[in-house]
Amino acid sequence: MTSKGPEEEHPSVTLFRQYLRIRTVQPKPDYGAAVAFFEERARQLGLGCQKVEVAPGYVVTVLTWPGTNPTLSSILLNSHTDVVPVFKEHWSHDPFEAFKDSEGYIYARGAQDMKCVSIQYLEAVRRLKVEGHRFPRTIHMTFVPDEEVGGHQGMELFVQRPEFHALRAGFALDEGIANPTDAFTVFYSERSPWWVRVTSTGRPGHASRFMEDTAAEKLHKVVSSILAFREKEWQRLQSNPHLKEGAVTSVNLTKLEGGVAYNVVPATMSASFDFRVAPDVDFKAFEEQLQSWCQAAGEGVTLEFAQKWMHPRVTPTDDSNPWWAAFSRVCKDMNLTLEPEIMPAATDNRYIRAVGVPALGFSPMNRTPVLLHDHDERLHEAVFLRGVDIYTRLLPALASVPALPSDS
């Protein structure tokens, strides 16, 4: 569908653009406005609405469409409400205006990650309700804060709450990533984020001298070891066409700190790394490897973790998993090609899977460049609307999966 005058815009697109205008941007998201938006949606759709404050000021909003068989586990449709910051000067349009160009592209922070998905869930439920459907399993939509900074005041706390257990989630959907081809990517596992700060200490002194045992030279050794490992993983990915990005471990050097003056050799310097560890890695051995790189650099080099996820899980993508069977059957019926992959980044699905709920990462955007966290993040309205169609088919199938042993 191409763009028409605003009076002819599809109401689902109008709602999407309204949500995009709410400034839930890190580091100071307007969560109050987002919660009010979802409360209003619940009122309009006649859905149950529960607010769970997992930390002061951090509310998870749960919208519920009850199923006809309360003994069955439920379907959890999760989305985060926060978005990452922007470099406004690099955008063609104000990232919080949800500008739509003459071709139908909607420009906004969150257009792909992941405000599209929140509205697609809501609009699919609205359509199905309006058509008078009921399904055996309850559908819960959770709108959570804090994902973009790690989920520590969001899903990580929510999964530990009695309110989460009371949802009795049997299966969950959360975000995926756009696919530039005709196919749709679906994620069945994730790499584990390890955020590592290496601190090097050494002899301070006058910077005109050939100082020995300096913090900088030891830090340099660690940086070299880690970047050599990065190169090795990159080559492994490049040389094997069967490997996708999420199947190897990545690392980037993201911060360098230390020093006070040009002519003073500092006693301390640090380097920060964002590792994304593949799910098949032996975590203990990998941590020992990191430690040994530090030790090999010399005395006084230590590491600390700012984030260290230790519970990777894999959701099976074969017909032994009835949720996968239902999901993939719908895609097949709709002639959608699926590309199952390991999520290279981290999403709230890691917390959901870790408490035993099978989950897939899926944002139905094909023929769309990957622009999450990028300048000019945008989504075509036709792709967005097709996504609503896809959920309108997926939800009946998932919410009608017959009773499972795990339901009792």
Binding site feature residues for Zn(2+):
80, 113, 148, 175, 373
Nearer to ligand MET, 61 or 192 (CB): 192
Q: CA-to-CA distance for 98 and 100, rounded, in angstroms?
A: 6
Type of residue found at 176:
G
What residue 69 binds from Zn ion, ligand MET, none (CB within 5 to 8 A, per partner kind)? none
Closest CA to 304 of 195, 197, 194, 150: 197
Please state the closest distance from residue 28 (CB atom) to ligand MET, in A: 17
Please state the closest distance from residue 391 (CB atom) to ligand MET, in A: 22
Closest CA to 190 of 167, 179, 178, 174: 174
What residue 114 binds from ligand MET, Zn ion, none (CB within 5 to 8 A, per partner kind)? Zn ion
Please state the closest distance from residue 387 (CB atom) to ligand MET, in A: 20
Q: Who's near 341: CB < 8 A, 6+ residues apart?
A: 185, 186, 187, 188, 244, 245, 246
Please state the closest distance from residue 249 (CB atom) to Zn ion, in A: 20
What residue 156 binds from ligand MET, Zn ion, none (CB within 5 to 8 A, per partner kind)? none
For 247, left (φ over 0), alpha (ψ -120 to 50), or beta? alpha
Exposed e or buried b per residue across 77-108, where buried means at least 16 C-beta atoms within 10 angstroms of its C-beta? bbbbbbbbebeeeebebebbebbbeeebbbbb
Residues at the site binding Zn ion, with contacts judged by CB under 5 A: 113-114, 175
Residues at the site binding ligand MET, with contacts judged by CB under 6 A: 147-148, 150, 193, 307, 345-347
Exposed e or buried b per residue across 143-177, where buried means at least 16 C-beta atoms within 10 angstroms of its C-beta? bbbbbbebbebbbbbbbeeeebeebbbbbbbbbbb
Active site residue 287: no
Report the chain's C-alpha Rg in angstroms. 23
What residue 346 binds from ligand MET, Zn ion, none (CB within 5 to 8 A, per partner kind)? ligand MET
Would you state the structure tokens that stand for residue 131, as one six-digit string? 């058509």
Would you state the structure tokens that stand for residue 264, as one six-digit string? 């003073």
Q: CA-to-CA distance for 86 and 108, rounded, in angstroms?
A: 10
Nearer to Zn ion, 60 or 226 (CB): 60
Nearer to ligand MET, 9 or 148 (CB): 148
Active site residue 89: no
Catalytic residue among 9, 82, 146, 348: 82
What residue 113 binds from Zn ion, ligand MET, none (CB within 5 to 8 A, per partner kind)? Zn ion
Nearer to Zn ion, 175 or 190 (CB): 175
Catalytic residue among 9, 147, 174, 377: 147
Please state the closest distance from residue 363 (CB atom) to Zn ion, in A: 8
Residues marked active site are found at 82, 147
